[in-house]
Amino acid sequence: MSVLYIALPVAILLALAAVIAFVWTVSRGQYDDLDTPALRMLEDDERRRPRHRPATKNETSLREEADHPDDSRQQ
Amino acid sequence: MIPINSPRSQPERTPVIDEIDGNETAQSSGQGICIHCDLPIPTSRQHSSGPEFCCAGCEVAYAILQDMDPRLLEEIAEAKTAGPSELTYEEMDHPRFLELYAHQLDSGLNRIRLHLEGIHCASCVFVIEKLPEFLPGVINARVNLTTATLDCFWNPDAVALSEIARTLDRLGYRPHPAQPNETERLYRLENRKHLIRLGIAGACAGNVMLIAFALYAGMFTGMSAEHLNLFRWTSAGLALVSIFWPGQIFFRGALLALKTRVPHIDLPVALGITIGGIAGLVNSIRGSGEIYFDSLTVLIFLLLVGRYIQFRQQHHALSQLSLLKNITPRHARLVTDTEVLTVPIEVLQAEDEVEVRAGDVIPADGVILSGDSSVDESILTGESRPRRVLTGGEVTAGTLNLTSPLRMQVQSVGEQTRIGRLMNLVELGVSSKLPLIELANRIAGVFVVTVILLSLLCLGLWWSSGAKVAVANAISLLIVTCPCALGLATPLALAVAQGKAAKRSILINSGDAVEKLARPGFLWLDKTGTLTTGEMQVQVWQGDQSRFRDIAALEQQVVHPIATAIQGYIEQQTGGALTDLPTPEETQARPGKGISGTVNGHQLLIGTEALVTSEGCLISPAYQQSIADCRSQGLTTVLIAVDGELEAVCGIGDSLRPDSRATLDHLKAAGWSIGILSGDHEEIVNPIARQLDIDPEFVHASVLPEEKLQIIQQSTPRGLTVMVGDGVNDSAALAAASVGIAVHGGAEASLQVADVYLNRPGLSPLRELIDGARMTNQVIIRNLLISLAYNLLAAGLALGGLINPLIAAVLMPTSSLTVLVLSFMNRSFRETHA
pLDDT digits 0-9 by tens, B568-624: 888 888 776 666 777 888 888 777 778 888 888 888 888 888 888 888 787 888 888
Return the pLDDT at B1.
Answer: 33
Residues from chain A contacting residue B145 (CB–CB below 8 Å): 33, 35-36, 39
Q: Percent of chain B scored above 70 by pLDDT?
A: 77
The model's pTM: 0.58
* β-pair type (B353-356, B387-389): unpaired
Please state, rounded to an integer, the average pLDDT across all residues of chain B: 77
Average pLDDT score over residue span B307-322: 58
B766 in reach of chain A (CB within 8 A): no
pLDDT digits 0-9 by tens, B130-188: 787 777 888 888 888 767 788 888 888 888 888 888 888 877 787 877 765 666 677 78
Lowest-pLDDT range, A70-74, B62-66, B401-405?
A70-74
Cα–Cα distance, B272 to B308 (Å, whole number) = 20
B13 in reach of chain A (CB within 8 A): no
Return the pLDDT at B198.
Answer: 92
Helix, strand, coil percent values for chain A (each to nearest 5): 65, 0, 35
Nearest to B393 by CA among B377, B378, B371: B371
pLDDT digits 0-9 by tens, B200-229: 999 999 999 888 888 878 877 888 888 888
Check: CB of residue B445 under 8 Å from CB of residue B748: no
**Min Cα–Cα distance to chain A from B293, Å:** 16
Q: Do B196 and A27 touch (CB under 8 A)?
A: yes
B109 in reach of chain A (CB within 8 A): yes
Nearest to B772 by CA among B486, B504, B473, B434: B504
What's B575's DSSP letter? T
> Closest to A62 (Cβ–Cβ): which among B109, B125, B136?
B109
Identify from B145, B197, B229 which residue to disrupt to test chain A contact, counting A C-beta atoms within 10 A and taking the largest count: B145
Handedness of CA B79, B80, B81, B82 (dihedral sign): positive
pLDDT digits 0-9 by tens, B492-510: 777 778 778 877 778 787 7
Q: Please determine, for residue B4, whether its predicted confidence score (pLDDT) is greater than 50.
A: no
Handedness of CA B609, B610, B612, B616 (dihedral sign): positive
Return the pLDDT at B47.
Answer: 58
Q: Do B199 and A23 touch (CB under 8 A)?
A: yes
Lowest-pLDDT range, B55-69, B324-338, B761-775?
B55-69
Check: CB of residue B140 under 8 Å from CB of residue A66: yes
Cα–Cα distance, B344 to B348 (Å, whole number) = 8
Q: Please determine, for residue B100, whether its predicted confidence score (pLDDT) is greater than 80.
A: no
Return the pLDDT at B296.
Answer: 80
Average pLDDT score over residue span B466-482: 71
Instruction: State the pLDDT confidence band at B3, using cuts at 50, 70 and 90.
Output: very low
A70 in reach of chain B (CB within 8 A): no
Identify from A20, A36, A45, A58 which residue to disrupt to test chain B contact, counting B C-beta atoms within 10 A and taking the largest count: A36
- Beta bridge mates, B688: none
Q: Please determine, for residue B558, whether its predicted confidence score (pLDDT) is greater than 70.
A: yes
Q: Please determine, for residue A55, whether its predicted confidence score (pLDDT) is greater than 70.
A: no
Identify from B124, B144, B228 which residue to disrupt to test chain A contact, counting A C-beta atoms within 10 A and taking the largest count: B144
Using a CB cutoff of 8 Å and minimum separation of 24, what contacts does B188-192 make? B188/A29, B188/A32, B188/A71, B190/B311, B191/A32, B191/B311, B191/B312, B191/B315, B192/A26, B192/A27, B192/A29, B192/A31
Check: CB of residue B410 under 8 Å from CB of residue B308: no
Q: Do B192 and A27 touch (CB under 8 A)?
A: yes
Return the pLDDT at B485.
Answer: 65
Cα–Cα distance, B535 to B656 (Å, whole number) = 10
Nearest to B401 by CA among B416, B384, B392, B389: B389
> Closest to A50 (Cβ–Cβ): which among B105, B133, B153?
B133
Return the pLDDT at B654.
Answer: 80
Which of B12-16, B262-266, B388-392 is the most confident on average? B388-392
Return the pLDDT at A16.
Answer: 93
Residues from chain A contacting residue B130 (CB–CB below 8 Å): 47
Amino acid A32 reads D
pLDDT digits 0-9 by tens, B705-717: 888 888 888 887 7
> Closest to B122 (Cβ–Cβ): which among A4, A5, A39?
A39
Residue with the bigger pLDDT between A47 and A75: it is A47
Residues from chain B contacting residue A43 (CB–CB below 8 Å): 126, 129
**Min Cα–Cα distance to chain B from A6, Å:** 11
